[in-house]
Structure 1
Amino acid sequence: MPTIKQTAPIRPPTGVDASQTRPPNVKYVYGLTAFVSLGALLFGYDQGVMGLIVADRRWRNLMNPANSWVTGAVVSLYDIGCFLGAMSIGLLADRCGRERSLSLASIVFIIGAIIQAASYDVPTITVGRIVLGWGVGLCSGGVPLYIAEIAPPKIRGRIIAIEQMVLCFGELVAFWLNYGFNYLTIDSWWRIPLAIQVLPAAILGIGCWYYVPPSPRWLVAQDRLECALEVLTRLHGTEAAEAEMQDIRRQDQFEKVVTEATWADMFRTPVLRVTLLGMGIQFFQQITGTNSILYYTPSLFEKGGITNPKTANLCTGGVGIVLFVSAWIPIFFFDRLGRRTWLMFGTVGMACAMIGITVLQWHAENNPGDSGNYAIIAFPYLFYLSFNVSWGVGSWTYAAEIFPLSMRAKGNALSTMTLWIACYIVAQVSPPIADAIGWGLYIIYSCICVVAFMFVKFAMVETKGRTLEEMSRIFGIEGRLVQRSGIDVDDAADLKKGVEVVMHDEGRGEMK
């Protein structure tokens, strides 16, 4: 019977002896990361593509949205689709594999992109947004899950930062393609940037189906130990692969004994704490206002006194440049400091940016035409510089690494679902709140930044440099699961040692 998940044996490349010692292949790790991050590029592109479109007079004349609530719905119902996709990844990633889930996401994405590009009314484009969002939600949960499971612990932050850089590149491309196509005299110019998304989605889908190997940790959970060891060897070299295989296999067997890893377990102690941390960090990543700026940047500049639409669009394109350039910083520096340090540092910068936007929109309201109004351009740039070096990479890294192996797909799904709920709230309520209280919207965001700072300082546990298999011990999950299962502590210790001994005795050739 046909199956979606990858079932073919994974053996050493042609000409490589299975007993031959192989060195780490960091280039292969980076290459896989860059390729599957096409899913992040789709995510980033669609985050950036709609802002200029819904602000364009020609699109509004065709679609004729009744009010700002309808415009907000066209933008934000995409986030409902993303929520559904993120919810689906918890099931698909465990059943079908991480990489095959991304192939399925690409198919859904392509269908949604075609519906969007072919639409002629608000209901049709809204359906397209929801379907496309489903594909993006699958990618947003699946990509960081996959790359966290193939990354060496010491550079996991850097690896996920590469995904964030690709995401920001997608936003940059969206900004500038929109800016260029906006100069076309045809009324349907906006269909072109919406249709272009099909190409990278097709490349991602085909590549993940045929060329990207399954996650070694998923292979262990499937009891395909020889295949898992081969993938680990290709990634991290023979010596590191042997040690990692011991840890992964030991943790997998231990978790299978002490828990059933159901959805209900995600909301029971001791896993509840980790679930709340994962959901909390992704909630704050969005509720601090990042997509309020990203989706509605032209409107932000207009209310800040930049009344020329072309100038506002050009400044919006500058946001894409800042996003992309600043995304390189965590690639080189994120793993040098702790997750908490970066998040607290970035939150301070984001709060300062929101205060600056508040002051300058107030100034523009009382001083229209003043050349000093152009100073507002700097503050969205400051916001994204601060965001990219902190929450942009930190929330995805933290949410992907803190859950136990047997619960990681479900935990990542819950965290990503929470992000999309927050994203929907921000996208839907920002336009009417801004219409009602103007610059007061950014006072609200600056206050939320203060709450986010307190969350990081007092609730989060540092995970820098830890292996994924260490997370259960760091958060006290391991001991509590043993107690809850009724297994004697000494018996649990013997269980882990037993797994290690069995694996050592079996050797590579006997694994199945």
Structure 2
Amino acid sequence: MNFSLKSTRRVLPVTSAEPTVPRPGSKALLYGLSAFTSIGALLFGYDQGVMGVIVADSRWLNLMRPQNSWVTGAVVSMYDIGCFIGALSTGHLSDSLGRERLITLATIIFSIGAVIQAASYSVVQITIGRVILGLGVGACAAGVPLYLSEIAPADIRGRLIGIEQMVLCFGELVAFWTNYGFNYLESENWWRIPISIQVLPAIILGVGCFFWVMPSPRWLALQDRRDEAYEALVRLHGTDQAIIEMDMLDHALEAEKVKGMSSWADMFKRPYVKLTFLAMVLQSFQQITGTNSILYYTPTLFKKGGISNAHTANLATGGVGIVLFVSAFIPIFYFDRLGRKTWLQIGTIGMLCAMIGIAVLQWHAEHFPGNTGNYAIIVFPYLFYFFFNISWGVAAWIYPSEIFPINMRAKGNALGTCANWISCYIVAQVSPVIADAINWGLYIIYAGICCLAFVFVRFMLVETRGVSLEDMSQRSGLM
């Protein structure tokens, strides 16, 4: 057996199958691959949720002794720099290694970063660990949606990305309640356990992607492994649909061969710069509308809203995880019934209202400390994440993986994901500082950004629901 990352699994025809008899596609295989590779989103979600309670804990602060809120913000946000670099690397590595081999490599890097974090005794050590772990998370965050979009039939692409989002939210839920449980330990090192736990699913994902997950049929076609690409499509979608998709894929590849493989510079040249702009701005708006500002610092948000008891604030933070997980089931069943633009507009309006609610109640707590009405602030982060999850939580990840031609898809998806992470870094770094300076005014700023996001979605995006990846160039006006 060849253990090289560059040697992907062969996808050979089933020897017992009669060549002239059409074979049905396997829904079990399609959903199994989707659910398994979405463990990458579990790692993403778990690490997104695990640090918020830790950096607000007095025992962690006494041990690490960050000098000020900028340093605390750096511990959280330097992870996003690692994610940015990891996502950028997928533009080349996912084309050269294969989508599933990239995920295996990402899990190895992720595990190294998690071990360094768990063994840290200084701000510098834990920050280095978070950067390394971020490299793995960034690669998974870009690689998993890319893989899912390339194995999915056009009519359920949103559902498969919805499954990924549900698994991501499950990771956040597990992180919240793992922190809540271990926080009761008297040891100042309690936080090392939640950080260490995430290594186990990373190992499972890495091994499974190496030995079981088959390559994307579109990647196989891009590597001139046409027979294997056809066999992969037959296994996933059935013979009849595979013939149609393979014909469309052949035409798309023939058109792209005339142009040659894309370079990074091509992503910023006409006519493709339009797609790059849409992918990067969409992913940026997902972050600068405030999602991780709430997620990373939820206990602090509740404290400024008048909830002074630490365990009550942590319990309310755990409720965020429950809302995220439960609401994530809605896109699985309904996201493909409405257009991407419709869901994004509905979600943005709801997020805008939630941000205004948080601002009003933090103002109320500032002027009326101790008032029982301050506890109403718990509702609004829940409301925000309900609307975020049914819209931006899915659409921002699926859209960049849909709109690019096959020879540009990996790089375009990588650039969109990079924009997400650099925006996430900025939000995580400046949010605590701005909140210290203007308190509830931070959420008024986010409400204003939600208004801009609504205008962008309404007037700039092209609808992609139900369109095959190979037909997307016509829909985007490139052909």
What TM-score, normalized to structure 1? 0.92
- 2:401 counterpart residue number: 400
Helix, strand or coil: the match of 1:405? coil
How far apart in 2 are the matches of 1:343 and 1:471?
Answer: 19
- 1:137 counterpart residue number: 138
Instruction: Report how far residue 252 of structure 1 moved.
Output: 1.0
Q: Deviations over 1:274-295 (max 9, x none)?
A: 1100011100000100000000
How far apart in 1 are the matches of 2:383 and 2:115?
Answer: 35
- 2:28 counterpart residue number: 27
How far apart in 2 are the matches of 1:370 and 1:13?
Answer: 69
How far apart in 2 are the matches of 1:283 and 1:59?
Answer: 31
Q: Deviations over 1:241-293 (max 9, x none)?
A: 11101111210121110344111110001000011000111000001000000
Helix, strand or coil: the match of 1:144? helix
How far apart in 1 are the matches of 2:209 and 2:10?
Answer: 16
Q: Look up the equivalent residue of 1:448 and give its one-letter code.
A: I
| 2:308 is the alignment partner of 1:303 | no
Residues 198-213 of structure 1: pairs in structure 2 closer than 5 A: 198-213=199-214
Give the conservation status (yes or no) of the 8 Å contact 1:267–1:275: yes
Instruction: Report how far residue 25 of structure 1 moved.
Output: 1.5
How far apart in 2 are the matches of 1:375 and 1:2?
Answer: 55
Structure 1 regions of 5+ residues with no counterpart? Answer: 479-512
**What is the percent sequence identity of the aligned residues?**
65
Instruction: Report how far residue 15 of structure 1 moved.
Output: 3.0
Instruction: Report how far residue 474 of structure 1 moved.
Output: 1.1
How far apart in 2 are the matches of 1:313 and 1:48?
Answer: 12
Give the conservation status (yes or no) of the 8 Å contact 1:82–1:130: yes
Q: Look up the equivalent residue of 2:405 and give its one-letter code.
A: P
Helix, strand or coil: the match of 2:102? helix
How far apart in 2 are the matches of 1:2 and 1:348?
Answer: 50
Give the conservation status (yes or no) of the 8 Å contact 1:25–1:235: yes
- 1:51 counterpart residue number: 52
- 1:421 counterpart residue number: 422
Q: Which deviates the most, 344-353 or 260-269?
A: 260-269
Q: Deviations over 1:372-394 (max 9, x none)?
A: 00000000000000000000001
Runs of 4+ in 1 over 2 A off after TM superposition: 1-9, 12-20
Q: Look up the equivalent residue of 1:386 and give its one-letter code.
A: F
Give the conservation status (yes or no) of the 8 Å contact 1:106–1:201: yes
- 2:322 counterpart residue number: 321
- 1:444 counterpart residue number: 445
Give the conservation status (yes or no) of the 8 Å contact 2:327–2:386: yes
Q: Deviations over 1:7-60 (max 9, x none)?
A: 453213453334432112122111100000000000000000000000001100
Q: Look up the equivalent residue of 2:337 and give its one-letter code.
A: R
Residues 67-146 of structure 1: pairs in structure 2 closer than 5 A: 67-146=68-147
- 1:289 counterpart residue number: 290
How far apart in 2 are the matches of 1:444 and 1:368?
Answer: 24
How far apart in 1 are the matches of 2:9 and 2:128?
Answer: 37
How far apart in 1 are the matches of 2:422 and 2:198?
Answer: 24
How far apart in 2 are the matches of 1:205 and 1:328?
Answer: 26
- 1:487 counterpart residue number: none
What TM-score, normalized to structure 2? 0.98
Q: Look up the equivalent residue of 2:295 and give its one-letter code.
A: L
Q: Deviations over 1:279-315 (max 9, x none)?
A: 1110000010000000000000000000000000000
How far apart in 1 are the matches of 2:367 and 2:446?
Answer: 22
Q: Look up the equivalent residue of 1:359 and give its one-letter code.
A: V
How far apart in 2 are the matches of 1:400 and 1:408?
Answer: 6
Query: RMSD of the alignment, in Å?
Result: 1.1
User: Cα–Cα, structure 1 residues 369 and 37, in superposed 2: closer, same or farther, change >3 Å?
Assistant: same
How far apart in 1 are the matches of 2:126 and 2:244?
Answer: 51
Q: Which deviates the most, 247-256 or 423-432?
A: 247-256
Q: Look up the equivalent residue of 2:381 and give its one-letter code.
A: P
How far apart in 1 are the matches of 2:452 and 2:294?
Answer: 19
Number of equivalent positions: 478
Helix, strand or coil: the match of 2:12? coil
Q: Deviations over 1:374-430 (max 9, x none)?
A: 000000000000000000001111111011110000000000000000000000000
Q: Which deviates the most, 271-280 or 2-11?
A: 2-11
Helix, strand or coil: the match of 2:336? helix
Give the conservation status (yes or no) of the 8 Å contact 1:6–1:214: no
Q: Which deviates the most, 240-249 or 347-356?
A: 240-249
Give the conservation status (yes or no) of the 8 Å contact 1:346–1:391: yes
How far apart in 2 are the matches of 1:151 and 1:358?
Answer: 41
Residues 61-460 of structure 1: pairs in structure 2 closer than 5 A: 61-460=62-461
Q: Look up the equivalent residue of 1:211 and give its one-letter code.
A: W
How far apart in 2 are the matches of 1:258 and 1:395?
Answer: 28
Structure 2 regions of 5+ residues with no counterpart? Answer: none
User: Cα–Cα, structure 1 residues 7 and 173, in superposed 2: closer, same or farther, change >3 Å?
Assistant: closer
Q: Deviations over 1:207-233 (max 9, x none)?
A: 001100000000001000111011111
Q: Look up the equivalent residue of 2:356 and give its one-letter code.
A: I
Q: Look up the equivalent residue of 2:10 and give its one-letter code.
A: P
User: Cα–Cα, structure 1 residues 2 and 169, in superposed 2: closer, same or farther, change >3 Å?
Assistant: closer
How far apart in 2 are the matches of 1:289 and 1:405?
Answer: 32
Give the conservation status (yes or no) of the 8 Å contact 1:12–1:18: no
Helix, strand or coil: the match of 1:212? coil
Q: Look up the equivalent residue of 1:111 and give its one-letter code.
A: I
Instruction: Report how far residue 5 of structure 1 moved.
Output: 2.4
